[in-house]
Structures are given as C-alpha cells and as structure tokens.
Amino acid sequence: MSKTELATDADPLLQPFRLKHLTLKNRIMSTSHLCGLHEEGFPQARYQAYHEEKARGGLGLTMFGGSSSVSADSLWAGGQINVATDDVIPFFEQFSSRIHRHGCALMCQISHLGRRAESYAGDWLPAIAPSPIRETLHRSIPKAMDRHDIERVIKAYGSAARRCLEGGLDGIETLASGHLIGQFLSARTNRRTDEFGGSLENRCRFGLLVHEEIRRQVGDAFVVGLRFVVDEKGGEDLSFEECLKIASQFEASGLIDFFNGIYGTMDTEMALAVDNMPGMASPIAPWLAQVGEFKQHVDLPVFHAARITDIATARYAISENLLDLVAMTRAHIADPQIVNKLLAGHEERIRPCVGATHCMSANRPTCPAQPGKRSGTAAAAGHRAVRQAGPAYRDCRGRSGRT
C-alpha cells in the first residue's frame, strides 16, 4: 500500500463526504470571502486562478464570492461578485471548468446586504432593511422595505441561484447572519408589525420565502446551504436557543442541504475582528465548541470556519463529530498545498497561518507566509540577506536557492 493510500485510510480529514448528490473527496474546504481579485464585478482570470491553486492543492470544496450581490441595491465598496446579471454566467462556466478538472467542487455565496449596503456605491440606491435601523459599522439609514421590495428581492435571490446553476457550479449558500435574511430574523433589527415581524415564525417568513423561490428556479437537485449564526450572544441579539428554533424551521422546510455555522455579530468593527474573523490575538478555533454543540441539535451537515489554522485542530473537529466539513480558508492562503502535503505524508511542511490578517488588507489575498506571491513582486538576481526571520524564513531560503 502506498504512502498516499495509508494517509487516506488513517486520516479523518481525508475521508470522502456525501453532500446530496456530490461526493467531496475530503473533509477540508475553503469558505466564501472577498478576495479582492474581481474585475468589473466578475470572477475573471486572476480570481479563478486564486481558487484553482487551492483546488490543485487537493481541496475538496472551495466556495467563492463572499457577499455576492443579488441586486443593484446590495453594494458596498468592497468588491463583490455581481450575480444580479446573466453576464456573469460565462465567467462561472470558465470558473467551474477550471476547478472541476482538479476534482474539487465549487460553490458561490449569494446575499443581499440589507442595511449594510452603502448608498453611495454603484447607482446610489438607498439601502433597504426590514426596519429603518442604522448599522453602526456601515452607517446607512435604510428604507423600510415595502411589499414591492420584498417580492423583488425574493425573486432576485432565485435568479441569482439560477445563474449559478447555469454556470455549472455545484451549489450555493445564502448568508443569514448580519445580512438581509438575518436582519429579518433578529428582533433587534426587525420591528415590523406585519406578517414579516413580531413572532419568531413571522421573522423566519422572509428567509423561507427566499429559499422557496431559489428552489423554484433551480430545482431539488442543486445544493443549497445557509451560512447561519449559531449564537449572537443573546441580549437584544439572538440567543443559542432562538437560533436552534430558527434552524429547526429551515431544516423542517426541506429547502436547504447544510448549515455553515458562524458565531456572533458583524455590525461593528470589534464584532468583525473578534467574532467573524479572529486574528492572532484570539485563541485557535474560538467558536468550534459552540458550533459543535449546535451540530448535536440538527440533522443537516454542519460546516464552520473561524481561525482553524492547524491540522491537529481540524482533525479533532472531524474525529469528534463537531463538524462534517472543516473550513481552513485563511490557512489555504498561507499554504494552498495543505491536502497534497497531507496525502504525501509531509504534514510538517505545511506553512502555518499565524493570524496576521494581512490577507484582509488592501493587498489581499497576500500572506506573510507567501512572500513571493505579492502583486508586482519580481525575482531579482543577486545575494539576499534574511534578518529576524519569521514564518516566511524557510520559504524565502527555498526561493533563494539555499538549503
């Protein structure tokens, strides 16, 4: 038996996983995020190459298009993919072909920002939300959605999902935390007195109608998931118990195929830095226990990403049944060859993500562990000196031809 076969048989991370009709070749994935490589709102050559490098590295599933916009009034200055037009379909066709040839599945996140949208972006359309309550971080004062807005946005979600299907993608996820669906779910941001507000059942209505429309346009075979907050920490925000009740309604509807669990809120700078994208000041996998507890109460598969930076933690999450797929998104920016190195028995050669969050800067998706990947960096002849070597030292020596 070869070393690769031995590694695959022994390692829980390398076991295949069945997701509806898809068989993912391992349990490691990369979640959707804004990588800063879009061109004119579309995933063109550089964007595709960034994800293809991870697929070539052995990844089982890569998601792209963080906060991809389903509608013209869901924009900010962050560079989303535009899934509100059929013009995106040819790019999806190219993209899916490049990823699938490496045996990797490809999915896109589609969303509406709601009150998080910036009114001065794009066509300067007003932000919309369940109620006119401003978000601290983005500061737009949204227009309360009327019946036309609700019906229009529901159809926009379905059309965006249909474009993903026609482009050859394997599935999509919607985003419930902080974005428009989540703003309907939370009593803090939903003060409506009609059938879309008040009781928990009413607050779930918009999100369920969105997913009904998605299913109407893509059918039952297409994979559809929900990136869902498992706990907003209570108070005015959703508690763990309320999140379980909401999850139960979505699960019972039969409209979704997985939960992609996240924790906390995202409407302040601190919440983004601590809850959503924890850096080196946070513990490793700070919310794994909470998402693992959530998994024990639902039947659908559960995924999760939040500073899962090392193989030992990822392996623990799968072996202890805390997750079905473990997302190592920033870890794959540090080293897109993680899976191939595992298969080859060279786990010790994986470049670690140190949580520097350089990948969230204007230069994203660059990383201190990938010094040669910066845009515009060219190799130069001559001698090199390395002072106060950090995590990139070994790579720098290798690129310099030193051993």
Q: Catalytic residues, which ones?
A: 179
* Nearest of 356, 133, 110, 137 to residue 265 by alpha carbon: 137
Q: Which residues are within 8 A (CB) of 396 and not within 5 positions of it... i.e. 6 or more apart?
A: 371, 384, 386, 389
403 vs 401: CA distance, rounded Å: 7
Report how far Cα 333 is from the mean position of its chain's Cα atoms: 14
Read off the DSSP letter of residue 127: P
Q: Which residues are within 8 A (CB) of 337 and not within 5 positions of it... i.e. 6 or more apart?
A: 57, 58, 350
Question: Residue type at 293?
Answer: E
- Give the number of other CB atoms < 10 A from CB of residue 139: 12
Dihedral sign for Cα atoms in the order 273, 279, 285, 286: negative
Residues 58 and 27: beta-carbon distance below 8 Å: no
Residue 303 corresponds to which tokens in the numbers above?
């995924």
CB-facing half-sphere around the CA of 272: CA atoms within 13 A: 10
Residue 183, SS3 per DSSP: helix
